[in-house]
Amino acid sequence: MMENKLSKLINLVQRLPEACLDEVIGYIEEKVEKNAEDKPTPSCPHCGRSAKLNGKKDGRQRYQCSTCGKTFGETTNTAMTYSHSGEAAWKQVVRDTVAGVSIDETADSLLLSHSTVFNMRHKILLALEAEEIHQPTVLDGVCELDDTYVLESLKGTKLPEDYWRKPRKHGAVAQKRGISSEYVSISAGVQRDGEAYSQTVTRATPGKEDIAAAFKGHIGEAALIMCDGAASYNALGKSCGSAVMNVSDENRGGFTHINTVNGFHSFIKKRYEDYRGVATKYLNRYNALFSIVFRGDSDLTDRIYNILCSNDIPRFHSVNDVKTLGLLKI
């Protein structure tokens, strides 16, 4: 787990004598005030024109547009709209989400409730999913495509009395042998020298229509698709106009393998374990995360935070959106 500076600060403050708290609070308030004064006045998120200072609310600077007259704050129309947490807390939740830290561990370290961190994490996931729709990942060049499978999970949901199976404990195995409807398919693709992408559209083994739906708009016309010979992926070449090469072909050589996408599969399953399972209804939100993190670099936390701060498209999601928006129904 990466260093959690907020947790370190909280622990240090808890060890202070009570007589020192006023001094520390005053110092922090001064820093917060100075930081707010040093920030440039943002443009209006509604019309893009210049704005002016318009007092404070709950200690946070407000602005008013000089043209349309609407008032706004720094986080208006961003993923952090109405949030009581600041940049440091949000970045720590992003950092822990990227690193595969559980929600409870993050909540404990930041002295936040489970539900608060759960909602923050899912607002991050929804923002990444929206970014993928806004700027789709397109795999080009030599690409490896294949499926991996995870056990269906109803984590956080009470099973109906007439459900076809009993509740499972973490680490349980499927009742049926082989790839059955107990498993959810994750269709994954990796450009050997570039991006990764994953999407879930069905249970068990996906057919050609499922594969076409999963990768629609995500395969470049000049792509060379490497797969394991499954007929569903052979059909993908026809639908997107790309060449398909099977690793099962007799004329192999070092060029013909799908080790890279298998590495992506291993990464997904490791994160699945780190999170102690992912509710199937939220799986595509996590697929958006897996895709950006798999080959993420050292500035990934800042990149994701900048996505949260952007208001070029609607980024705000309510708690109700967290519970209901874009749930996977298969």
Pairing of strands 243-246, 224-227: parallel
pLDDT at 252 over 60: no
pLDDT at 255: 58
Pairing of strands 71-73, 60-65: antiparallel
User: Band of the pLDDT at 11, cuts 50, 70, 90?
Assistant: confident
Mean per-residue pLDDT over the chain, rounded: 85
Q: Are 145 and 261 in contact (CB under 8 A)?
A: yes
pLDDT at 242: 67
Fold of 136-271: Nucleotidyltransferase; domain 5 (3.30.420)
Residue type, 247: V
- Tell me the pLDDT tens digit for each residue of 72-125: 888 888 899 889 898 899 999 999 999 999 999 999 999 999 999 999 999 999
- Tell me the pLDDT tens digit for each residue of 153-202: 888 788 777 777 777 776 677 677 778 888 899 999 999 888 999 999 99
pLDDT at 198: 95
Q: Are 49 and 66 in contact (CB under 8 A)?
A: yes
Q: Which two tokens stand for residue 282?
A: 């939220």
pLDDT at 250: 46
pLDDT at 1: 46
Q: Which two tokens stand for residue 318?
A: 């309510």
Q: What percent of the chain has pLDDT over 70?
A: 92
Q: What percent of the chain has pLDDT over 90?
A: 38
Q: Average the pLDDT over 272-292 and give the result.
A: 91
DSSP string covering 158-175, please?
A: PPPTT-SSPPPPTT---S
Q: Average the pLDDT over 45-71 and give the result.
A: 82
- What are the domain boundaries of the chain? 136-271
Q: Which candidate, 322, 325, 292, places its Cα nearest to that of 82?
A: 322
pTM: 0.84
pLDDT at 58: 73
pLDDT at 187: 93
113 vs 147: CA distance, rounded Å: 36
- Tell me the pLDDT tens digit for each residue of 236-250: 766 666 677 766 654
First to last CA, the chain: 34
- Tell me the pLDDT tens digit for each residue of 129-150: 999 999 999 998 889 999 999 9
Q: Would you mind telling me the total number of residues written for the chain in this entry? A: 330
pLDDT at 227 over 80: yes
Q: Average the pLDDT over 40-44 and give the result.
A: 80
